[in-house]
Chain A
Amino acid sequence: MSGQATTLTLLGVLLRQPEQLLASDDEAAERDRLALLTPKLLGITVMGAAIFGLVIGSYRGELQYLYAAIKTPALLLLPVLIGLPAIRAFFGACELEIAWSRLALAALIAVARTAVLAAACGPVLWLYLSLHPDYHRAILAMSACLIAVGGPGLWTLLRALPSGGRHRPLASFASLVVLGVLLAQSGWLLRPFVVRPRAEVDFLRPVEADVFSSLASTRRSANGDYRGWDARPGGLLGSRRDLAEPPEAQP
């Protein structure tokens, strides 16, 4: 590869050989590299995820284009931001002391790669959504896309960490669980992404219930049990309003 690279070249390296972006000889060089690459990688993440968000927003249209495009980058970045200290501790407990700079760079590369791949999925997803599928099918299609592009992203993150260390699979497994749970709850917190065609468009729904109770309710509904769902305000940020009618679960 040539010595100098523009953002497009960086994009190519990100997709073809992301490990090249990590190679460095010492921690100071890694810090320099992190400082140099962070704006570019964040820019790529925001652009890629925003494109994916625009596609999701197309299911409802109007303001949802903008809302989904703004929220999707946060959906990818928030879980990593919250989960990174835990991931570092997991690997530390398995004899792999990873420098913060390296871990942060690895995470940024993984998220940026995921975002670019998500954007690449955009045309296919848009084509499907343009056929006006059922709301639940639209959500399934979005989830399938996210799973399909999230896999390579997570793999990039795990491969970017140095190998070795006893019980490394334990740390990798715990990291995947933490990131998966955080991604699910972040998606719930930042909902709605896919909005029913006739539903009101909100930027964010009130902080209430959680993703797991939503999934349980959906499962009950799928089995023909429509008892409703007690979506009470949740956590410190939850609003204190009484819910006269439980709202419908929408991821």
Chain B
Amino acid sequence: MHGTTISVHPPPSATAYPIGSTAPLSSPTPAPLRGQDLCVALLGLLALGGAAALGGSSAGPGLRLLPSVLLVELPALALTAPALIAVHQFLGLAAAPEQLAAGLGRALIHAGRVAGGLAIVVLFFAATTRLATPMLVVSLAAVGVFSSATACVELTAAERRAGTVVAPLFTLLLIGWLGLSWLVALRVGVDVASWVLGFGRLGA
């Protein structure tokens, strides 16, 4: 076969990004949170609900699906984050409140990005099947899993930056907070689902 030829030689400095290279883990001093990133994250959460709303069978519940992901993620975080920070400080652990808040903010940003990526998948199912709502529920769970994983990493990194070692008490606190967060998210999720289906009202 003739035509354009291509080099398949790895360039001399290929070792800078080879297969099996270890990507840098969390940097010692993470970049400060940017409002733009937070906005994009919120848009991602909104997009996930919006994608499912497009596949909604009727106008009312369909429209109410639009903010549903935001209404689960944000209240769950807003209800449990202050509790985490308060108990953390009460126990005399190392990290400062603002470091913990920044870590949670970064977890929210990643959750929004995951939601944005999954929104395209949900949109595909909304366009071709009647599975938009089940896919939304599965995606919401995936967003929860990834935000939990990221929060664990970020909070542990914040604690490690503040002190030399991570106390076992911190690990215990983290596990307790994760459990509480999932329970709160599930409770909020039930309320939001009732609202979307028209059987209840938010905050009731």
Contact = CB atoms under 8 A, between A and B. Distances in A.
Given A37-B6, A163-B20, A164-B22, A82 B14 contact: no
B155 interface: no
Contact of A170 (B5, B11, B146): B146
B32 interface: no
B23 A164 contact: yes
Contact of B124 (A19, A159, A182, A232): A182
Nearest to A166: B153
Contact of A6 (B1, B14, B21, B126): B1
Q: Which of A4, A23, A90, A160 has the most CB of B within 10 A?
A: A23
Contact of A9 (B8, B55, B128): B8
Interface in A203-236: 207, 209-210, 212, 232, 234-236
B165 to A, nearest CB: 18
B113 A92 contact: yes
Query: Which of under 10, 10 to 19, 20 to 34, or 35 or more describes the interface residues of A?
Result: 35 or more
B14 A23 contact: yes
Interface in B89-136: 110-111, 113-118, 120-121, 124-132
A93 interface: yes
Interface in B48-97: 54-55
Contacts of B3: 6-7
Given A6-B2, A85-B120, A13 B146 contact: no
Interface residues of B, number: 52
A25 B11 CA distance: 7
A2 to B, nearest CB: 8
A130 to B, nearest CB: 30
B7 to A, nearest CB: 6
Contacts of B115: 89
B19 A88 contact: no
Nearest to A17: B8
Contacts of B132: 235
Contact of B116 (A4, A5, A26, A89): A89
A26 to B, nearest CB: 7
Interface in B1-54: 1-3, 5-14, 16-26, 54
Contacts of A96: 23
Given A23-B11, A89-B118, A95-B25, A235 B128 contact: yes
A20 B10 contact: yes
Given A86-B121, A182-B121, A237 B131 contact: no
A94 interface: yes
B142 A174 contact: yes
A85 B26 CA distance: 22
B23 A86 contact: no
A8 B3 CA distance: 11
Given A6-B5, A89-B118, A92-B110, A165 B149 contact: no
A95 B26 contact: yes
A115 B180 CA distance: 47
A7 B3 CA distance: 9
A167 B14 contact: no
A238 B145 CA distance: 32
Contact of B121 (A8, A88, A178, A207): A178
Contacts of A94: 146, 149-150
Contacts of A151: none
A87 B117 contact: yes
29 contacts: A5-B7, A6-B3, A6-B5, A10-B6, A19-B19, A21-B8, A23-B10, A25-B12, A25-B17, A82-B121, A87-B117, A88-B117, A90-B114, A93-B149, A95-B23, A162-B22, A163-B20, A163-B22, A164-B24, A174-B142, A174-B146, A178-B118, A185-B128, A210-B131, A235-B55, A235-B127, A235-B128, A235-B129, A238-B130
Q: Which 7 pairs from chain A and chain B are nearest by CB?
A: A86-B117, A23-B10, A89-B117, A23-B14, A210-B129, A25-B13, A93-B110
Given A6-B1, A23-B18, 9 more contacts: A1-B8, A6-B5, A26-B17, A90-B114, A92-B114, A163-B20, A165-B25, A178-B121, A209-B130
